[in-house]
Structure 1
Amino acid sequence: MNFNIYHSPKLNIQLTLIAQTIILKTEEIDKILDKYYGTVNPQIIDESKFFNEIILETSKEKLDEYFSIGRDVYDQLLEPIKKFLEDASLALSMYENTKEFNSKITLEDIKNRKPIDEIPLDQFQRLLFIYAHSFLDAIVKIANTIFVMTKQNKTPFIPDDVREKLIILKDEFDNEFPHIIDIRHSWQHIEDRMRGKGQNEKNIESLMLVLSTLYNDNLTYTISDGTQHHITINLDTFKRAEYYVQQTFDSFKWVKGRNR
């Protein structure tokens, strides 16, 4: 099979740049930039000269502290959230290509149970559900990562002004994807939902339970409160998630630094 991976040129350029050449900007580094370079764009500052002057003005201990802040944020949070978006991209590509293959299945194929790439026909059709759930899982991981970044006790190394931006961003994400975590929770605890049980073994007050239904690209579940909700497995949903990942990166201030 040939799979087309969905990517945004803007996002890829931004994330590649960040991965290769930057550290988080701190107030101390801001002061040195202002002293030696004024309002010059830090992206064009000579790298070796820039770091030599930071070392002259900052103790080695403090400098390591600033670098560790940058590594903590990038390695623990930003690199993973980028990978979660890539997971969503791959899952969506697999989903779309599988859907295309399914559309070419004929009644004769169904009658003869013709295998596709040595996968039994009935099993091949289940791949749509596997990829749809993988897509859901990746989007929820993005949501959870942003959530963790809004909590001072969980990520104390994030500056307060950045955290304020992330709190607003998380609220926007929740409005964009309402009940998405509840949907995944129902998927992960489907054995409870099948018994009509919600969280803490409470009965679900619903006349009809919808469990892992995929119709018109909508992956639908009945959640604990008895209401039905879905996530749409398509490029529009991916692009909206991509926007929030980009905004997460853009919430931080960056300055050109040494290669990682």
Structure 2
Amino acid sequence: MKFDTYLTPNINIKNTLTATTLILKTDEIKEILKKYYQTDEVKIFRQDEQTLFEIIKSETSKEILDKYFNQGMAINCDILTHLINFLNDSVLALSLYLNSKKYLSEISIEDQMARKSIDNIPFDQFQKLPIIYAHSFLDSIVKIANTMFVMTRENKTPLIPDSMRAKLSVLKDEFDAEFPNVRDIRHSWQHIEDRMRGKGQNERDLQTNLLILSSLFNDDLTYTIADGTTQSILIGEHTFRRAEYYVQNVFDCFEWINGESEFRY
């Protein structure tokens, strides 16, 4: 299969995502910066970052230093790195979806009837590639949604400062409003054995006269979800770009004082 299309993510990340080269600009650290520099603008510190690091270490209590500079940075950087990974997974799945769909569309009906296999894959199995990639795309979008959810919950990510968490909560609500049923669609996919029996969650009977399972039509992946309604997600560039938008804004919620290296994405 010829790979004609690969969508390129466009995320602007200015900092190195490692605990050894970043300090998270918490409210406590901002107060220290104001005390010494009368400002909290990062650009002021580029000239003498080593002095800045020493000031923060000397002025910050060991408890706060361990919480936000050591443990907190490691955890937050790991979460953000995985968020990027999920976005990369989504664009790869989408590109594979678009290419496999295009490849199949270019095979004539006569040729399809005559073909028995493509690259040693039975043709009837090869035809399933678009829907397999569509589900992979769905899974990546849900992982982005779930990561955003975790970042808004203090009991799950206590080392994200409250001021940043408030911004993340707004983004999460906007994401949920734009993709209100994405988790429910994946849940029906993952529990298709229940839906095909007419069951919702906890063995409740589905209240529906129309049962749709794993339908892919005009790039809409459609399922009957647990409440009996029919819901779809568009498998396409628009969905990816909107997910990309939210990932970018998640990164923009965090404020850093960074070292010399640049994050390579």
Fold conserved (TM > 0.5)? yes
1:234-253 alignment, distance < 5 Å: 234-253=236-255
Q: Any unmatched runs of 5+ in structure 1? A: none
Moved more, 229-238 or 35-44: 35-44
For 1:191, give the aligned amino acid.
E
Which residue in the other structure is 1:113 paired with? 115
For 1:74, give the aligned amino acid.
C
1:254 to 250, 253, 256: 256
Deviations 1:146-203 (A, max 9, x none): 1111112111112122222222211111110011111001000000111111111111
CA contact (8 A) 1:213 1:219 kept: yes
CA contact (8 A) 2:16 2:259 kept: no
CA contact (8 A) 1:25 1:255 kept: yes
Moved more, 189-198 or 58-67: 58-67
Q: 1:141 and 2:143 equivalent?
A: yes
TM-score normalised according to structure 2 size: 0.88
Which residue in the other structure is 1:131 paired with? 133
Which residue in the other structure is 1:178 paired with? 180
CA contact (8 A) 1:81 1:142 kept: yes
Which residue in the other structure is 1:204 paired with? 206
Which residue in the other structure is 1:42 paired with? 42
TM-score normalised according to structure 1 size: 0.90
Deviations 1:29-64 (A, max 9, x none): 323332343337414343323223323434566433
Q: How many pairs are equivalent?
A: 256
Q: 1:71 and 2:69 equivalent?
A: no
Cα distance in 2 for residues equivalent to 1:126 and 1:101 = 12
Cα distance in 2 for residues equivalent to 1:171 and 1:206 = 28
- Matched position secondary structure for 2:17: helix
1:57 to 56, 59, 62: 59
Cα 1:125–1:23 change in 2 (3 A) is farther
Deviation at 1:226, TM superposition (A): 1.2
Cα distance in 1 for residues equivalent to 2:5 and 2:41 = 37
Deviation at 1:230, TM superposition (A): 0.4
Q: Which runs of 4+ in 1 moved over 4 A?
A: 59-62
Deviations 1:199-257 (A, max 9, x none): 11111121121000000000000011111000000000001111111111112222223
Q: 1:100 and 2:122 equivalent?
A: no
Q: 1:88 and 2:86 equivalent?
A: no
Cα distance in 2 for residues equivalent to 1:174 and 1:236 = 16
For 2:33, give the aligned amino acid.
L
CA contact (8 A) 1:3 1:94 kept: no
Cα 1:59–1:257 change in 2 (3 A) is farther
